A and B are shown apart, each in its own frame.
Chain A
Amino acid sequence: MLVMASDRIDIRHVARLARLALSDAEIATFAPQLANLLSFVDELTELDTANVAATAQVVPSRNVERADALRPETLLSHDAALANAPQTQGGYFRVPRILAEDI
């Protein structure tokens, strides 16, 4: 069971997707942990769900919406918005260069 689960996960790929730089030692640690998680979730497949409707949410509510109105009290001041930015320039967040070819 545990081996099967670890076969299903390419931890290097998942780490790349999450922008995590994992060392070989960390991969050796996390790979079996993630595999265990999948095995744990696999136990759910043993439940009989024949009479349960599929859902993406366990909360029973539906259509929680708001009217299209401004909430000026939630706006951040310009200073507060930029307060945690490592770098700013002229009211903008300044980040390392991004160009189309870097995507």
Chain B
Amino acid sequence: MIDERTGEVSAETRARYEAVIGIECHVELKTVSKMFCGCPNAFGSPPNTNVCPVCLALPGALPVPNAKAIEQIVRAGLAFGSTIPEHAKFDRKNYFYPDMPKNYQISQYDMPLTVGGIVRYWLEDGTRGECRLTRIHLEEDTGKSTHASADGRLAGATSSLVDFNRAGVPLMECVGEPDLRSAEEAVAFLESLARTFRELGVSDVKMEEGSLRCDANVSVRLRGAAEYGTKAEIKNMNSFRSARRAIESEIARQIAVLEGGGRVIQETRGWDEAAGVTHSQRSKEEAHDYRYFPDPDLVPLDSPPAAADAVRATLIETPYERYIRYVDGFGIASKQATQLVDDAALSQWFDRVAAASGQPLAAMHFVLGDLSRLANETGIAISGGKVTPEALAELVELTQNNAINSSAAKKVLEVLWIEGGSAKAIVEREGLAQVSDRAAVAALVAEVLDANPKVVADYRAGKTNVLGFLTGAVMKASRGKANPALTQELLREKLEQK
């Protein structure tokens, strides 16, 4: 049903439909130089200063491919289990646009560098999923245009300004199969791609600098239907958040169209971030007739299996594999595992603590708790600070063996953060070893009870929640060293005997 007032479909109606989503995303590779020339691959330079005859398409200039960019695509593909075909080539994709100086883009059409593969991802609640990749291919980025009117506003712009610094920057295009069923899954898929690319060092994936841009093919169908519905292609989503909102809005729009008796038409729609809706971008029919043909300036690329094997041999654990190890192997909750995985340097550091202490869960609580707090307060990364993984592992063991209590552990950590060194040495120097000696703690308990007759009376009158106050008083009297469990046990014992 459609609400006549708001035009929105009800949750019940929404639930009868299933979305089918396929993502295509473009990621700028992290190289020193551009794809086909020796200009800097740099962001933020003054306009048109990182340009040469090749990337400005001056007559007679010839492109030569960047070996590092080719290797990075192969590396990215292998991380997702893609096949590396033995033969690949570059093609020209012909179209006219002022930010593309050659009037064609060098891309890959029917013989890409990688084919197939699977992107595994997880949702916020820990649910896992996977999406097949069609291919990952290599192409070049276009220049960047901004619109200018006499008064500097976009509305009524009379001309556009073009900067070719970005033209020719190596660009990886990842094409996913339509395996995703919700905006949430689509975002999880993108996050998994981004994490993996960062980990591999093939891209910094800085959304704010436009180094990851994505399009989504969205269609809806009644649950259980075998056929796909007609899809619309959503463009201009420049953050994960806007991708989620854009896809959700498009799913709702298509359901409303179908429920209203209409038909979804195949078209390109642009996401309007401010309005929170997608708009039809009518395109002329020949806009998609690219007349691809092999680029005669570039010779074919051969990749013997041994070359792919050599790259495969250098691959390390992917972020997804690490997440699984943390959750399934260490018993860490999905949210905390994600926090660790999202910071590659931190998770490597954490792995050393986990290995040295043999107590991954306790280590995780220190790393994401007090240590992260200290790092935030001081603006120093944990992995770049004075606390070594070995020192934290020592601290974990001291706590787990009840040699020190948690408030002492906090103190030790604070000293370690400032001075570095060994946890054991600090415990000894500061006299923080936990007092678990019954007689010693009993003496402190007696002292505290004598000093607080009114509180004792309250407890005996049934206000047993004052136990916390009394425990705190004993801890204070012991300068934080008393074993808290033993303290409570002895307090109860004394308070119960009238």
Q: Which residues of A contact B164 (CB under 8 A)?
A: 81, 93
Q: Are B286 and A103 in contact (CB under 8 A)?
A: no
> Is B64 located at the chain interface by the 8 A CB criterion?
yes
Classify the secondary structure of A's interface with B. loop
Q: Given A66-B66, A68-B68, do A78 and B48 touch, yes or no (CB 8 Å)?
A: yes
Q: Are B299 and A59 in contact (CB under 8 A)?
A: yes
Q: Are B160 and A95 in contact (CB under 8 A)?
A: yes
B262-296, CB < 8 A from A: 270, 281-284, 286-287, 289, 291, 294, 296
> Is B217 located at the chain interface by the 8 A CB criterion?
no
Q: Which residues of B contact A68 (CB under 8 A)?
A: 31-33, 66-69
Q: Given A13-B286, A81-B48, A92-B162, do A99 and B38 touch, yes or no (CB 8 Å)?
A: no
Q: Which residues of B contact A89 (CB under 8 A)?
A: 148, 159, 161
> Is B486 located at the chain interface by the 8 A CB criterion?
no
Q: Are A100 and B270 in contact (CB under 8 A)?
A: yes
Kindly state the separation between the CA atoms of A92 and B145 in the bound complex, as whole angstroms. Answer: 9
> Is B40 located at the chain interface by the 8 A CB criterion?
yes
> Is A62 located at the chain interface by the 8 A CB criterion?
yes
Q: Are A97 and B158 in contact (CB under 8 A)?
A: yes
Contact with A along B20-40 (1 / 0, CB 8 A): 000000000001110001111
- Interface size class of chain A, counting residues whose CB lies under 8 Å from the partner chain: 35 or more
Contact with B along A52-64 (1 / 0, CB 8 A): 0001110101111
> Is B98 located at the chain interface by the 8 A CB criterion?
yes
Kindly state the separation between the CA atoms of A94 and B164 in the bound complex, as whole angstroms. Answer: 12
Q: Which residues of A contact B160 (CB under 8 A)?
A: 94-98
A60-88, CB < 8 A from B: 61-72, 74-76, 78, 81-82, 87
Q: Which residues of B contact A13 (CB under 8 A)?
A: 286, 289
Kindly state the separation between the CA atoms of A6 and B56 in the bound complex, as whole angstroms. Answer: 36
Q: Which residues of A contact B403 (CB under 8 A)?
A: none
Q: Are A65 and B64 in contact (CB under 8 A)?
A: yes
B141-173, CB < 8 A from A: 145-148, 157-164
Q: Are A74 and B37 in contact (CB under 8 A)?
A: yes
* Sample (8) of A-B pairs whose CB atoms are under 8 Å apart: A62-B299, A63-B300, A64-B299, A66-B66, A69-B38, A81-B164, A96-B159, A103-B281
B residues near A (Cβ < 8 Å) are 31-33, 37-40, 46-54, 56, 64-70, 89, 94, 96-99, 111, 145-148, 157-164, 236, 270, 281-284, 286-287, 289, 291, 294, 296, 298-302
